[in-house]
Amino acid sequence: MFQILSDPDLTAPVLIAAFDGWVNAGTAGTLAADTLMSGASVVAEFDGDLLFDYRQSRPTVDFAGGVNAGVSWPAMTIRHRRLGGRDLLVLSGPEPNWNWQRFGREIAELATRLGVAEHVSLGGIPWAAPHTRPVEIVVTASSADRLEHGDGHPEGRMRVPGAAVSTVEYAVGVAGVPTKGFWARVPHYVGTAFYAGSLALIERLGEHLGAELPVGDLARLAAEQREELDSIAEARPDLKALIGQLETITDENQAVSGESLAAEIERFLRTRDD
């Protein structure tokens, strides 16, 4: 499914995966991945015909003066960059529509071939979280002993609709490569890129790897977005009240039932004009 384009000299590389689509709320994972890989070289590219339904992940067609000048196809690639003394490989692109099991197997084989020492998934999940508080990171891993003290991991057994990034993580873990996942909790009322989420993911990844990683313009964009969201909330009493309730829950670390939370979110959505 893939073609190797370059063969860099790698030392215990870390494979980072982030796909646009499911479990990428606020584009938190893919924006973090793109920030890390600014100026990186492409190591491998995948056959899009085997992965994508082009009616969902549509190619872009350019016209110049009425002349069809070319087609840009959705791409799944692995890019390489050395940061903080570590070799990082980033697997990213739109979430595949086809061949998930084969895709996972081939990623696992490629990880073994490249000597990958660890696999890390990045993403975002919509959450009843206020934008006025630090972004919380949910942590998952291939084994319990990889969950460090203080990691915010889900308690008990949880069953959710699967994402391709998680199925790839599982396949790589079965192949013997230790895995970890970092998932930013994105305020459910933010419908655009949530820069604070991507910033928090890079900082958490850097802490995990013991490396200083570049954050690009994310800190500035997050600060500007915070001001914009504060301004919107001031103009919307219903939204301001909801955020206040979420702040109270967060600050007091109280448990809230799914039923009451769903009712509150539904009440808020009913008040929206659009």
If pLDDT is split at 50, 70 and 90, which confidence band does 274 have?
low
Helices (H), 77-216: 100-113, 164-174, 195-209
Predicted confidence (pLDDT) at residue 54 exceeds the cutoff of 70? yes
**C-alpha pair distances (Å), 3 with each of 16, 17, 43:** 18, 18, 9
Q: What percent of the chain has pLDDT over 70?
A: 92
The sheet with strand 86-94 has its strands ordered as: 2-4, 41-46, 77-83, 86-94, 14-20, 118-127, 179-187, 137-141
Average pLDDT, rounded, for the chain = 91
pLDDT of residue 16: 98
Q: What percent of the chain has pLDDT over 90?
A: 74
Angle separating helix axes 218-235 and 195-209, nearest 10 degrees: 140
Residue 152: partners with Cβ closer than 8 Å, 6 or more residues away? 136, 137, 138, 139
State pLDDT tens for residues 61-114.
999 999 999 999 999 999 999 998 899 999 999 999 999 999 999 999 999 999
Predicted confidence (pLDDT) at residue 150 exceeds the cutoff of 70? no
Give yes or no for a contact between 181 and 172, defined as CB atoms under 8 angstroms apart.
no
Q: Which amino acid is at 143?
A: S
Would you mind telling me the total number of residues written for the chain in this entry? 274
Higher pLDDT among residues 144 and 118, named by residue: 118
Instruction: Determine which of 125-139, 240-254, 260-274 has the lowest per-residue pLDDT on average.
Output: 260-274
Domains of the chain: 2-216 (3.40.50.10900)
> How far apart (Å, rounded) are the C-alpha atoms in residues 211 and 38?
17
State pLDDT tens for residues 9-41.
999 999 999 999 999 999 999 999 999 999 899
What distance lies between CA 191 and its chain's CA centroid? Answer: 15
Predicted confidence (pLDDT) at residue 151 exceeds the cutoff of 50? yes
State pLDDT tens for residues 170-225.
999 999 999 999 999 999 999 899 999 999 999 999 999 999 999 999 999 999 99
> How far apart (Å, rounded) are the C-alpha atoms in residues 265 and 262?
5
pTM: 0.86
State pLDDT tens for residues 223-259.
999 999 999 999 999 999 999 989 888 887 644 555 5
pLDDT of residue 254: 46
